[in-house]
Amino acid sequence: MKSSRCQGKTQLGSLRTVDDTAQEQGLDLEPPVRMEEEKEVMEEMEVEERVVEIEHPLPCLSESDTQGIIKGRDLFGYVGIEAVLDQMRRKTMKAGFEFNIMVVGQSGLGKSTLVNTLFKSKVSRKSCTPNYEEKISKTVHLQSVSHIIEEKGVKMKLTVIDTPGFGDQINNENCWEPIVQYVNEQYEKYLKEELNVNRKKRIPDSRVHCCVYFLPATGHWLRPIDVEFMRRLGKIVSILPVIAKADTLTLEERLEFKQRIRQDLQANGIRVYPQKEYDEDAEDRILNDKIRENIPFAVVGTDKEHQVNGNKVLGRKTKWGIIEVENIAHCEFAHLRDLLIRSHLQDLKDVTHNIHYETYRVKRLNESNANGVVLSPLTLENGTLEKSDAESHL
């Protein structure tokens, strides 16, 4: 295009050159001929300009396009789309939301204390039971307690599921089976509600969103029961391992123990939260990589306050000083709290619904198709499909 335009200018320049030469030689060229030639050249240049404009049209949707991106600078004025976030926030604040957390570990690792520290209230089963007596159960009994926690107008129904008796016996064979069964039963309840013809406006969600697994601070490697439990449960629920009572280890011992645990997790193919395959974008990957580097979190729990430099802090008092629970130089409780509540709470719920529950639902539907039975609330209630089929024998 540029060469054609330049060519047009060259022709025009040639006419002027001929005209000048004719005047110098005293020749008389007819003005109409010169004007006609100049007019033709100008028309050619206008055609070239129009072609260039056509090659760079304004952005618009072609017939084959189904959607386009219209950004703020392309709008004629304020539309108000951003107000949707305020609408969602108001609805969520009115309805509240649910979060179900399971704590698993042998007795004496401070599970109840840590849960109370996380939510800064007495929410554990032990704290809520009057005249509670610690007894070692012969079998694993799952018990749950629920609370409504409200902060700045936001309501959350918190359910804490405890597993007394886990790992407390001489023979702990298959001690994880009641926990696997409980997790699958909650999926089954939700599936039954979904299959109802007249579904509830909001299906009660009792599914386990996160399982915090407490590791004793031995300083060695993972025990066989730790490996077996996390390997089985990691396939059906989000597992988050923590080192309990980490103040019994020196900083060097803690670092070495964490490295050994990460090696054990990788060697045994144990999937702990957050999994790499669930990272949605580069930003998520960067954030989750930092978390994965620190797992398992070395934590200390307490519900007692002490004065440190004129400020009240949560901490454990020893003869060497005060261990500040929320001080990252002392322990990694703050990292665990941020992950569970401040940064990944909704993601834990999304992974539970979109990954773990969806895997269970597909499995159940495939089982019903293989047996030639249409899965419905009636068949689930009457036990047409054996419940043992629904349980995960991993």
Question: CB–CB of 210/240 below 8 Å?
Answer: yes
The span from the CA of 211 to the CA of 214, in Å, is 10
Instruction: Give CA angle at 364 (358, 366), nearest 5°.
Output: 100
Looking at residue 118, its pLDDT comes to 92
Looking at residue 129, its pLDDT comes to 64
The span from the CA of 172 to the CA of 168, in Å, is 7
Residue with tokens 């600078």: 73
Tell me the C-alpha to C-alpha distance, in Å, between residue 184 and each of 5, 34, 189, 229, 290: 75, 94, 9, 15, 31
Supply 349's token pair: 């719920």
The span from the CA of 184 to the CA of 392, in Å, is 7
- Edge-to-edge strand order for the sheet containing 297-298? 143-151, 154-162, 97-104, 210-215, 239-243, 297-298
- pLDDT tens track of the chain, all 394 residues? 444 444 444 444 444 444 554 444 444 444 555 556 566 656 666 555 554 444 444 455 455 556 677 777 777 788 888 899 889 888 888 888 999 999 999 888 999 999 999 998 888 877 666 656 656 565 678 889 999 999 988 899 999 999 988 988 877 888 899 999 999 999 999 999 999 888 888 899 999 999 999 999 998 899 999 999 999 999 999 999 999 999 999 999 999 999 999 999 999 999 999 999 988 889 999 999 999 999 999 999 888 888 888 888 888 888 888 888 998 989 999 999 999 999 999 999 999 999 999 999 999 999 888 877 666 665 666 554 444 343 433 3
Tell me the C-alpha to C-alpha distance, in Å, between residue 183 and each of 175, 179, 358, 380, 385: 14, 6, 13, 17, 18
| DSSP 8-class letter at 216 | P
Looking at residue 258, its pLDDT comes to 96
Question: Residue 382's Cα: distance from chain center in Å?
Answer: 36
Residues in the chain: 394
The DSSP secondary structure of 77-123, one letter per residue, reads: S---TTHHHHHHHHHHHHH-EEEEEEEE--TTS-HHHHHHHHHTS--
Looking at residue 391, its pLDDT comes to 40
| Sign of the Cα pseudo-torsion (173, 178, 183, 184, in order) | positive
- Edge-to-edge strand order for the sheet containing 321-324? 305-308, 311-318, 321-324
SS3 159: strand
Looking at residue 141, its pLDDT comes to 83
Torsion of CA 146, 150, 153, 155, to 10 degrees: -10
Supply 200's token pair: 């509830």
Instruction: Tell me whether the omega of the peptide bond preceding residue 31 falls within 30 degrees of 0, making it cis.
Output: no
Provide the greatest CA pair distance for the chain: 127
pTM: 0.75
Looking at residue 46, its pLDDT comes to 59
Looking at residue 121, its pLDDT comes to 87
Residue with tokens 């500040």: 324
